[in-house]
């Protein structure tokens, strides 16, 4: 992806927003989607954003009784989304 870091961040935010719009507006899924998003270069395992993402996932997982990461593909990108409290969500 080309552009400044700010432009890349804006593009990432727009893609993520559009991906979330694929869910019904009142879907309970929104209660379980982690707010922080990451834009990583999957061709570079040393991308510093991988380190930040790993730290965020580890911290998040340590504080959750139940969690799972799912991936959705949208507009040529794969988005990893963390869902929490699955037992509660399944009972709704």
**pLDDT for 61-85, tens place per residue?**
777 776 677 777 777 777 777 666 5
Q: How many residues does the chain have?
A: 92
- pLDDT band at residue 7 using 50, 70 and 90 as cut-offs: very high
Query: Which pLDDT score, from 0 to 100, does residue 66 have?
Result: 66
Give the domain range for residue 53. 5-91
Alpha carbon distance 38, 53 (integer Å): 7
Domain count, the chain: 1
| Terminal alpha carbon distance of the chain | 40
pTM: 0.52
Read off the DSSP letter of residue 15. H
Alpha carbon distance 1, 15 (integer Å): 13
Nearest to 53 by CA among 65, 43, 41, 67: 41
Percent of the chain residues past pLDDT 90, beyond the cut = 3
Does 59 score more than 80 pLDDT?
Answer: yes
């Amino acid at each position: 992806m080309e552009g400044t870091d700010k432009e890349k961040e804006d593009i990432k935010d727009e893609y993520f927003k559009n991906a979330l719009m694929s869910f019904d507006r009142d879907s309970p899924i929104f209660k379980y989607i982690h707010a922080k998003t990451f834009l990583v270069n999957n061709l570079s395992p040393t991308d510093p954003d991988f380190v930040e993402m790993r730290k965020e996932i580890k911290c998040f997982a340590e504080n959750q009784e139940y969690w799972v990461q799912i991936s959705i593909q949208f507009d040529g990108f794969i988005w990893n989304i963390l869902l929490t409290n699955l037992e509660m969500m399944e009972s709704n």
